[in-house]
Amino acid sequence: MPARRVVLGVGGGIAAYKSASLLRLFAEAGHDVTVVPTAAALRFVGTATWEALSHHPVATEVWDDVAEVAHVAIGRETDLVVVAPATADLLGRAAGGLADDLLTNVLLTARAPILMAPAMHTEMWEHAAVQDNVATLRSRGVVVLEPGEGRLTGADTGKGRMPEPEEIRALAELLLRRADALPRDLAGRTVVVTAGGTREPLDPVRFLGNNSSGRQGFALAAVAAARGARVRLLAANADLPVPAGVEVERVGSAEQLQAATTKAAADADVVVMVAAVADFRPAQRAEHKIKKGAGEPDSIPLVRNPDILAGLVTDRTGVRPLLVGFAAETGDASGDPLAHGRRKLADKGCDLMVVNRVGDQHAFGRAENSAVILADDGTETEVPLGPKAVLAAAVWDAVAARLVR
């Protein structure tokens, strides 16, 4: 993607130190970043840091650089505004339309997408006034992320952590590619996303598995949360940070994933099966490590694992939940990846099938992905190679269109 102009607004919270890492991520991607901190933010991270990382002078007041009318020009000329951390005070001033410093003036003059990443103590986030301000901003099209859960200032733990810089960067890059990629069209919906790859134990130290990193599933979870959904992420052996606002359950084998998915699907509106599920597992798990030499097996008998997606299709009642499968295909003598995907869609009976080519440095473990989204009505939507969040947004577009039917 070509370099874009990004405004990084920084509120006066302890999480401001994490925004220095966010700034570096934007700069390393080649974007031209203008940092606009509040006066309070500079009490946490000083001007010299922001100027050194952005290579631009930093101002906080409308009286700075008056001749250039900076309070209007910065907002008008940017492609994206990211505010991280967005404190309770800053959310309130933005919702009220106040313009008492340079950052709030930029928020009023900007016509580009605005992404805000809240950070505050749990009690502040849950206060009715803050929730009203967040609702107001969202009603105006501002993307306000859910904060994460974990360690806060001091010994406190709870909801209120600023989402991690890498997560914010991924969603920001998505908005730079598609300004309409994060509507609140999944608000009030419960979605289940499976991610990663199952492992089938052979003995206490070995297993049958695959190369799935879980990145695509985690991207789907993050984008769904940003679009307002309650997200349950069933992660199979995926060592990745949990997206803010997402509930996670860790599983290992295909049978464990089946049990967790069946339970979670009972009250879900949508289930997206992204996890790479092993087709087979050893018929028996050895109690001790299998050693070479005397007593080593000539072969290892395998048995077929349950087809989790097909089971969900059989068990569902009416139209709920809407079911989305992923077909990771390599193609063979009987057909290319898309042909195999079409057969899977017909055989399994789900609503959508996302077909992507894997192997030979495609998909698994990489930051980018491409796919074709097949629907049971015969429509096909091609998503070209790009960040996995872009494919995630396209999948949720297709899901949301069906939910409103």
Catalytic residue IDs? 210
Single-letter code of the amino acid located at 357 = R
Torsion-angle region of 74 (φ positive above 0: left; ψ -120 to 50: alpha; else: beta): alpha
Burial label for 289, CB within 10 Å (0-12, 13-18, 19+), is exposed
Q: Does residue 141 sit in helix, strand or coil? A: coil
Residue ranges in 145-207 assigned as alpha helix (H): 165-177
Take residue 247 and report the two structure tokens written for it.
Answer: 């509930």
Instruction: Give residue for tokens 């991610």.
Output: 195
Helix axes 165-177, 388-403, angle to 10 degrees: 70
Residues 6 or more apart in contact with residue 340 via CB below 8 angstroms: 327, 329, 331, 332, 334, 355
- Euclidean distance between CA atoms 256 and 84, whole angstroms: 38
The answer to whether 177 and 389 have CB atoms below 8 angstroms apart is: no
Q: Would you give the distance in Å from CA 51 to the centre of its chain?
A: 30
Phi first, then psi: give them for residue 378, nearest 5 degrees.
95, -10
Beta bridge partners of 195: 235
Interior angle at CA 273, CA 271 and CA 275, nearest 5: 145
The answer to whether 131 and 100 have CB atoms below 8 angstroms apart is: no
The answer to whether 313 and 245 have CB atoms below 8 angstroms apart is: no
Interior angle at CA 222, CA 29 and CA 320, nearest 5: 145
Take residue 101 and report the two structure tokens written for it.
Answer: 């410093």
